[in-house]
Amino acid sequence: MLALILRFALFAACCVVAWGGVACAEGKHFDTKGAGANSCAEYAKAYRSNPTQTDIMFGSWAQGYISGINAAMEDAYFGVRNFDETLRFLRKYCNDHPLANVQDAAMELLKSLPRLTRKDDASAPR
């Protein structure tokens, strides 16, 4: 029973973070921290001045964001892209949507990933 309560608490916390966000183009107000709180325009500006550091910061944030959502899911998870594919996705999304924020890009990346069931892949992380 305690394990079930802890899983629910972890899931609820991840939902708050995952669907929390920041104020975005649609007028929603949320509380995202870290690189995901930046606008795509800010991401592009940072990338122009220091591509390597920007890639590390924003790519790591996006993969951590998806990993947190995966950790909260009990019977399924989203497959992940390698780091270079993640970066390409973020750059393209933000280039196409400069008024969006990086969390929006991460959510779109998440939607593009295959949803897998844990029983289909016994080696999936728990």
pLDDT computed for residue 114 by the predictor = 81
Looking from the CA of 113 toward its CB, the CA atoms found within 13 Å total: 25
Looking from the CA of 74 toward its CB, the CA atoms found within 13 Å total: 10
Is residue 67 within a helix (H) or strand (E), and if so which, with residue range? helix 51-72
Greatest distance between any 2 Cα atoms in the chain: 51
Which domains, ranges and CATH numbers included, belong to the chain? 2-120 (1.10.890.30)
Least Cα distance to 56 among 81, 78, 84 occurs for 84
Is the pTM above the cut of 0.85? no
pLDDT computed for residue 1 by the predictor = 42
74 CA to centre of own chain: 18
Evaluate whether 40 touches 101 at the Cβ level (below 8 Å): yes
Digit-by-digit pLDDT tens for the chain (126 residues) are 434 333 433 443 444 344 443 333 443 435 666 776 678 999 999 999 999 999 999 999 999 888 888 888 777 777 877 889 999 999 999 999 999 999 999 889 988 888 878 775 555 555
pLDDT computed for residue 122 by the predictor = 55
